[in-house]
A and B are shown apart, each in its own frame.
Chain A
Amino acid sequence: MSDEIGAAGHSAGDAVVSIRGVDKVFGDGDGATTALLGIDLEIRRGEFVSLIGPSGCGKSTLLRVIGDLIGPSAGSVDVNGKAAHQARLGREYGMVFQAPVLFDWRSVEENVRLPLELLGLPRSEQSARAAQMLRLVELGDFARHHPPQLSGGMQQRVAIARALALQPAILLMDEPFGALDEMTRERMNSEVLRIWEQTGTTVVFVTHSIPEAVFLSSRVVVMSPRPGRITRLIDVDLARPRNELTREERRYFELVTQVREALRGGGNPGEPATGSSAERLAAEGGVG
């Protein structure tokens, strides 16, 4: 397993995120909806983990619980050895949403600088780091542009640069390429892998695209429809660095099939609600 984490060069078992027994219920009484049920998951440093599942399976909710944007109804989330709330106050997160969420009134460079400004870094350091981040996403020439002047893919790259500017312990991405066309999406996938390999950041990536999940991830977390539970963990043992040729490998297709079948059988009604240890499910080996 350490092979696919190799790029980041960290040892396995070094957990950045540990989620224990997390439930999330929205509303109360008759109107209550259980979005997440009995979630257990460990994410190691430098891992690229995708959360995949049908719409409404709670994958975005799980991402927001990890990021302390919403609190769990039960259970706990630790990030970098502290409670998620402390991690957020310590500015350990970078977030990328489906929409780029850039501020039109700021130039590209000023958008990337936003988190550094909030942190109160000296201006010179802000500029230096913003420039470095823009070079990383290959938008160095667009620093003075304003977001509306950029294409959708470029805007999303600015959002990634902004998310990485703080050198966060963990990068949370919520269907970041869901609004892009297929061609741009595949290009962005390669781009994000290159950035991940260069920075060694831990990434949690929400998607509903099976090929995207397989191409990018070290591990794919398959979730069931509401109430969202983890039904399977699939290790993606494709060699790195991955590129366009990876998409034509036999193993790639096998893994895509494996994820698809895991999603199809995702309901798992026989599984007890609590104690659905994700690790144990993984150990059972799944379809592969």
Chain B
Amino acid sequence: MRITAVHLRQLLPPLLVFVVGVAAWEVLTRLSNIRAFILPPPSAIAVALVENWSGGRWPLLPSALATLLEAAGGLVIGTLAGVAVAFGVSRWMTVRDAILPVAVAANAIPIIAVAPIFNNWFGVLNPVSKMMVAALLVFFPIMINVTRGLSEVEPSAVELMRSYAASEWTVLRKLRIPNALPFFLTALKVATTLALIGAVVGEYFGGSSTVLGRVVVQSAASLRFDVTWAAIVLASVAGILAYLGVVALERRLIPWHASVRAERPA
């Protein structure tokens, strides 16, 4: 996509806020008596990021990639399951009545509580145990939103299709699925962030040491908060990149939708 003057004008204010914020952080931590293990200055975090990039006790890049893989695996599993259940729930009343209460109850389980259990089930060193935590978090928003997208179609749109003697299957293909796409993509934006949270939470309860969650826990235990912060920065960057990936997907899949149109310069 071409960067135009309009894009620059949109990008400039948040960029300015970011730069000013980081600069203020740097100056404040240097001028005041805040000690490095309470809040390290951004420059120290940057140094820690470079020094621990790929080697040493806390290799940040391999850890980030491992965590990203867990999150991505969880995102795929949770999304597939959520979409599959949504199709069943929106198509058959009995499935809806049987599954929806269970799904709502499952969503109420605190994720922290299941993480050790999943580690136990799938193996603490096996990335699948983290994927399942992430998948559990991802499942619910995807399922609920896709169900809404598939069922909340204009009644007259259904009448229109019926007046053309369209089959249930055709109504699904030509009306319900396209209608559900914006709902799905909105849920996917939330789900990418949730997948990362799920993966990191799973890591807190043990596993390979080259994952972001373990780096955070162990560097903090060693009072190396500059490394802890560096890991957090990497996790945020991964989250932002995943989010931008979904936005790009939105532009491709639903260019007609208001959410995409609104961003486009007129």
Contacts and interface: CB of A to CB of B under 8 A. Distances in A.
B254 A105 contact: yes
Nearest to B162: A69
Contacts of B256: 104-106, 146, 148
A39 interface: no
A97 B166 contact: no
A114 interface: yes
B258 A148 contact: yes
Interface residues of B, number: 20
B156 A104 contact: no
A97 B157 CA distance: 9
Interface residues of A, number: 27
B180 to A, nearest CB: 11
B164 interface: yes
B247 interface: no
A114 B174 contact: yes
A103 B256 CA distance: 10
B257 interface: yes
Given A103-B178, A148-B261, A118 B166 contact: yes
Nearest to B258: A148
B153 to A, nearest CB: 10
A208 B11 CA distance: 52
B140 to A, nearest CB: 26
A185 interface: no
B156 to A, nearest CB: 4
B160 A101 contact: yes
A146 B178 CA distance: 15
A98 B160 CA distance: 12
Given A146-B256, A148-B261, A103 B163 contact: no
Given A95-B159, A118-B170, A103 B164 contact: no
Interface string A118-130: 1100000000000
A67 B163 CA distance: 7
A48 B141 CA distance: 50
Scoring B162, B164, B166, B174 by chain A CB atoms within 10 A of each residue's CB, the highest score goes to B164
Nearest to B177: A105
A88 B257 contact: no
B51 interface: no
A210 interface: no
A97 B175 contact: no
B164 A115 contact: yes
Nearest to B161: A118
Contacts of B257: 104-105
Contacts of A90: 165
B152 interface: no
Interface string B72-98: 000000000000000000000000000
A130 to B, nearest CB: 15
Contacts of B174: 103, 114, 117-118
Nearest to A70: B159
A171 to B, nearest CB: 11
B156 A99 contact: yes
22 contacts: A64-B159, A69-B162, A88-B162, A88-B165, A89-B165, A90-B165, A91-B164, A98-B156, A99-B154, A99-B156, A101-B156, A101-B157, A103-B174, A105-B178, A105-B254, A114-B164, A115-B164, A118-B164, A118-B166, A118-B174, A148-B261, A172-B163
Given A99-B154, A105-B254, A105-B257, 15 more contacts: A69-B162, A88-B162, A88-B163, A88-B165, A89-B165, A91-B165, A95-B163, A103-B174, A103-B178, A104-B257, A115-B164, A118-B165, A118-B170, A119-B164, A148-B261
